[in-house]
């Protein structure tokens, strides 16, 4: 029997290209200057973001951008430039920082979706949506959403959830910068979106399994993290950790996606939970986080 062909994905999140938008960072480092010179020397390379030339000729089937790429629909413009440079289709979900341009998420999400549709299939934006891709007889269902969190990372009692929400409301810029339904985003609103996305994911997985059987291949892409360990060992149990991760190990076990790609924690992570690869490749803030300038996309095979 011929072995099924591998599907090759290039993963990136938390590029935070807004930190190096022209004319560049306020305080450029020597490492950033070297990165900038390398990018500008490569024809067609995006003018911001990590070096991508190592992906050329690698047979990349899909690029996955798991949020916090840039502010607003500039994320989609970057995704389009990546697709043109690599000749590969790109999947995007929104992170929280996409909303840092002051746009209400109720307006931003349709704007990003429309911008992606204008790329003639090169870029697909997902928010509680599914896209299916065929690769030489293999069919991959990609389920995407921002996800947000349930604020239960430090405990799931009513009191523990309320305490987590109070701490996050005071300590996280999201609740001073982001808008939804014409109001500043509150932790309660973020939790509501998390529960809606979880319900949608459960329904969509059930639909796909019902239509195509238990062997249907599912990839989940979210911005927020689905396992507590993804926050990094130094942040487990931290005051703000409930705004970064939710414990979805029960869902992972039940849904059995082939992989779950995420971002948000600025902690790159790669491990197996049962049959599912939980993985991220997160750049972070250039000229602030010391390893950001040398970040390279992660290539995985399914």
pLDDT digits (tens, 9 = 90+) for 201-229: 999 999 999 999 999 999 999 999 999 99
Q: What is the pLDDT of residue 279?
A: 99
Does residue 2 surpass a pLDDT of 70? Answer: no
pLDDT digits (tens, 9 = 90+) for 53-89: 999 999 999 999 999 999 999 999 999 999 999 999 9
Q: What is the pLDDT of residue 1?
A: 53
Is residue 1 a part of any domain in this protein? no
**Which among 87, 67, 63 is positioned nearest to 75, based on CA atoms?**
67
As for how many domains the chain has, the answer is 1
Tell me what the mean pLDDT of segment 238-266 comes to: 98
Confidence of residue 44 (pLDDT cuts 50, 70, 90): very high
- How much of the chain, in percent, has pLDDT values that exceed 90? 95
How far apart, in whole angstroms, are the C-alpha atoms of residue 114 and residue 117? 5
142 contacts 219 by C-beta, under 8 angstroms: yes
Is residue 230 a part of any domain in this protein? yes
Is residue 3 a part of any domain in this protein? no
Q: What is the pLDDT of residue 70?
A: 98
Q: What is the pLDDT of residue 288?
A: 96
Is residue 86 a part of any domain in this protein? yes
Confidence of residue 184 (pLDDT cuts 50, 70, 90): very high
**Which among 137, 274, 127, 299 is positioned nearest to 217, based on CA atoms?**
137
Q: What is the pLDDT of residue 4?
A: 82
Whole-model pTM over 0.95: yes
How many CA atoms lie less than 13 Å away from 258 in the CB half-sphere?
Answer: 19
**Which among 141, 131, 135, 132 is positioned nearest to 4, based on CA atoms?**
135
How far apart, in whole angstroms, are the C-alpha atoms of residue 267 and residue 252? 20
Is residue 43 a part of any domain in this protein? yes
CATH number at residue 140: 3.60.21.10
Does residue 244 surpass a pLDDT of 60? Answer: yes
**Average pLDDT over the chain, rounded to an integer:** 97
In terms of average pLDDT, the best of 2-6, 13-17, 169-173 is 13-17
Structural domain that includes position 165: 8-301
Does residue 247 surpass a pLDDT of 90? Answer: yes
Q: What is the pLDDT of residue 47?
A: 96
Tell me what the mean pLDDT of segment 82-107 comes to: 97
Q: What is the pLDDT of residue 3?
A: 75
Does residue 156 surpass a pLDDT of 70? Answer: yes
Is residue 88 a part of any domain in this protein? yes
């Amino acid at each position: 029997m011929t072995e099924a062909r591998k599907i090759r994905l290039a993963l990136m999140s938390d590029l935070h290209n807004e930190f190096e938008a022209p004319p560049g960072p306020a305080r450029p480092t020597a490492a950033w200057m070297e990165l900038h010179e390398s990018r500008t020397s490569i024809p067609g390379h995006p003018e911001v973001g990590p070096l991508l030339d190592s992906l050329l000729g690698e047979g990349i089937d899909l690029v996955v951008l798991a949020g916090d790429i840039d502010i607003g629909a500039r994320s989609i413009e970057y995704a389009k430039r990546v697709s043109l440079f690599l000749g590969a289709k790109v999947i995007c979900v929104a992170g929280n920082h996409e909303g840092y341009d002051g746009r209400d998420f109720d307006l931003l999400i349709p704007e990003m979706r429309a911008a992606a549709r204008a790329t003639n299939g090169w870029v697909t934006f997902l928010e509680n949506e599914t896209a299916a891709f065929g690769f030489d007889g293999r069919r991959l269902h990609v389920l995407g959403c921002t996800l947000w969190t349930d604020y239960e990372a430090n405990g799931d009692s009513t009191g523990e959830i309320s305490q987590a929400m109070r701490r996050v409301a005071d300590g996280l810029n999201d609740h001073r910068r982001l808008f939804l339904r014409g109001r500043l985003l509150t932790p309660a609103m973020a939790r509501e979106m998390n529960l809606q996305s979880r319900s949608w994911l459960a329904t969509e997985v059930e639909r796909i399994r019902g239509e195509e059987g238990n062997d249907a291949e599912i990839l989940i892409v979210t911005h927020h993290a689905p396992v507590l360990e993804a926050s990094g060992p130094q942040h487990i149990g931290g005051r703000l950790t409930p705004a970064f991760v939710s414990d979805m190990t029960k869902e992972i076990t039940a849904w059995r996606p082939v992989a779950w790609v995420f971002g948000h924690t600025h902690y790159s992570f790669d491990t197996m939970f049962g049959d599912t690869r939980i993985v991220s490749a997160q750049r972070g803030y250039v000229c602030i986080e010391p390893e950001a300038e040398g970040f390279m996309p992660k290539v995985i095979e399914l």
